[in-house]
């Protein structure tokens, strides 16, 4: 096997995370009005085992869907659940109850072969994408940037699962800043079924009584561009600003707010808040200014802080991580403290 094929198989294995029906239902119940008369595409889900297909097929009439299309990427060397040779990649089309049964059956579900392996980037899968009104799925975590770029390129409405840290990517953060995408309802811990040959881990990994392997990830969220009431709920602010409780960054003109619930109600300047703030972000209440994350979008030393080149160099000598733009301040003992990723925000007038 060529090295490229081996790498592709390894990546596919690591990206096999199957979402629980309960988690899908708990999120999608907030979006019912968006689905009426729409064609839904689940293009990263094996329809033979996907709970996304199950949810939409069984709620087809309730949601008032027009059509449901489901595809999946099938590795050509191994079916990771059965350990057997993979079947041909297929896509399923369901257009609702035709024979009066409450349960979708084989006669009502059109199963069609795909010429390729079902990769969402393939030409035939892109044609299915063009047909869809809304995309709902759990895309490969390792390809999240590319997957999001495709959704934006084709102007699709979507509701997809991702990692909270995706918000700090240079390709993703500008979309959030410009209010083109936002977080859905659920953020935090979520458990996924994983393939039988998944590597066991010391934490957040277990095998149930049926021998099914599971992994839990603590920083999962839903990304969407479907407007929801939650997005317009004001965060209740009760804390008052004091210089002692809210230290000012050395390398950026903003104050440090260590927890979202501690955002002061009487401060009008720029504040740095944890990325978990995105779960509470209301664009009518706050404006996103930028991000300081010590990585791709880190702030430049001296910007808006009136630091000289010599002062910046001294910070770098004290802790070289600030070369990557990590926001920092001095605590009450004078020790330099570097922050994790911070979203820079300001209250709207």
Instruction: Supply the pLDDT for residue 265.
Output: 97
Confidence at 184, pLDDT banded by 50, 70, 90:
very high
What does the pLDDT average to over 24-29? 96
211 and 240 in one domain? no
Instruction: Check residue 334 and give its pLDDT.
Output: 85
Spatial CB neighbours of 211, under 8 Å, sequence gap ≥ 6: 196
* 220 & 242 share domain: no
- 84 and 109 share a domain? yes
Q: In the listed set 208, 230, 252, which residue is the last one of a domain according to the structure?
A: 230
**Mean pLDDT along residues 307-318:** 80
What's residue 231's pLDDT?
95
Q: Which domain holds residue 173?
A: 3-230
Least confident of 46-55, 233-242, 256-265: 46-55
Question: Tokens 């977080």 belong to which residue?
Answer: 183
User: What angle separates helix 51-58 from helix 21-28, to the nearest 10 degrees?
Assistant: 50
Residues 54 and 114 grouped into a single domain: yes
Last residue of a domain, one of 180, 211, 230: 230
DSSP assignment, residue 7? Answer: H
191 and 279 part of one domain: no
99-123 pLDDT per residue, tens: 667 667 666 787 888 898 889 999 9
- DSSP 8-state assignment for residue 48: T
Same domain, yes or no: 224 and 237: no
Q: Give the count of domains, the chain.
A: 2
344 has a pLDDT exceeding 80: yes
Determine what percent of the chain is predicted with pLDDT higher than 70: 84
Count CB neighbours of 238 within 10 A.
9
Domain finish residue from 193, 214, 230: 230
Examine the domain organization and report whether 66 and 164 are in the same domain: yes
Q: Is 62 helix (H, G, I), strand (E, B) or coil?
A: helix
Kindly state whether residues 111 and 33 are assigned to the same domain.
Answer: yes
User: What is the rounded CA–CA span in Å between residue 311 and residue 327?
Assistant: 15
Same domain, 51 and 167: yes
Question: What are the φ and ψ backbone dihedral angles of 347, each rounded to 5 degrees?
Answer: -65, 140
With residue 255 as reference, give the H or E element that holds it: strand 255-256
103-117, 175-189, 192-206: least confidently modelled range: 103-117
Range 175-185 average pLDDT: 96
Decide if pLDDT at 89 tops 90. no
Mean of pLDDT values over 20-42: 96
131 and 222 both lie in a single domain: yes
Are 25 and 167 in a shared domain?
A: yes
DSSP one-letter code for 53: H
Same domain, 226 and 261: no
The tokens describing 140, both together, are 């490969």
Which tops the pLDDT comparison, 296 or 317?
317
pLDDT at 323: 63
Could you tell me if residue 287 is left (phi over 0), alpha (psi between -120 and 50 degrees) or otherwise beta? beta
């Amino acid at each position: 096997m060529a090295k490229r094929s081996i790498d592709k198989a390894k990546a596919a294995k690591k990206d096999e995370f199957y979402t629980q029906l309960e988690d899908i239902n708990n999120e999608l119940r907030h979006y019912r009005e968006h689905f009426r008369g729409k064609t839904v595409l689940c293009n990263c889900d094996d329809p033979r085992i996907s709970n996304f297909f199950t949810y939409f097929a069984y709620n087809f009439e309730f949601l008032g869907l027009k059509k449901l299309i489901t595809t999946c990427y099938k590795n050509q060397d191994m079916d990771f659940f059965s350990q057997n040779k993979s079947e041909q990649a297929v896509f399923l089309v369901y257009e609702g109850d035709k024979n009066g049964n409450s349960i979708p059956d084989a006669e009502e579900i059109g199963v069609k072969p795909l010429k390729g392996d079902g990769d969402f980037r393939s030409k035939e899968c892109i044609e299915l994408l063009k047909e869809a009104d809304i995309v709902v799925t759990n895309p490969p975590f390792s390809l999240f940037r590319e997957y999001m770029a495709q959704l934006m390129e084709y102007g699709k409405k979507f509701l997809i699962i991702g990692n909270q840290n995706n918000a700090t990517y240079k390709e993703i953060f500008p979309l959030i800043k410009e209010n083109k995408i936002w977080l859905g309802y659920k953020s935090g811990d979520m458990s996924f079924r994983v393939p039988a040959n998944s590597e066991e881990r010391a934490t957040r990994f277990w095998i149930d009584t049926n021998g099914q392997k599971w992994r839990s990830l603590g920083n999962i969220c839903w990304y969407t561009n479907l407007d929801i009431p939650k997005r317009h709920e004001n965060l209740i602010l009760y804390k008052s600003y004091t210089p002692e409780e809210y230290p000012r960054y050395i390398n950026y003109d903003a104050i440090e707010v260590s927890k979202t619930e501690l955002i002061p109600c009487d401060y009008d300047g720029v504040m740095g808040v944890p990325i978990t703030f995105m779960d509470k972000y209301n664009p009518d209440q706050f404006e996103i200014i930028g991000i300081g994350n010590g990585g791709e979008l880190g702030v430049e030393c001296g910007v808006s802080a009136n630091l000289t080149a010599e002062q910046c160099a001294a910070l770098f000598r004290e802790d070289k991580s600030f070369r990557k733009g990590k926001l920092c301040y001095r605590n009450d003992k004078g020790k330099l403290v570097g922050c994790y990723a911070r979203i820079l925000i300001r209250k709207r007038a």
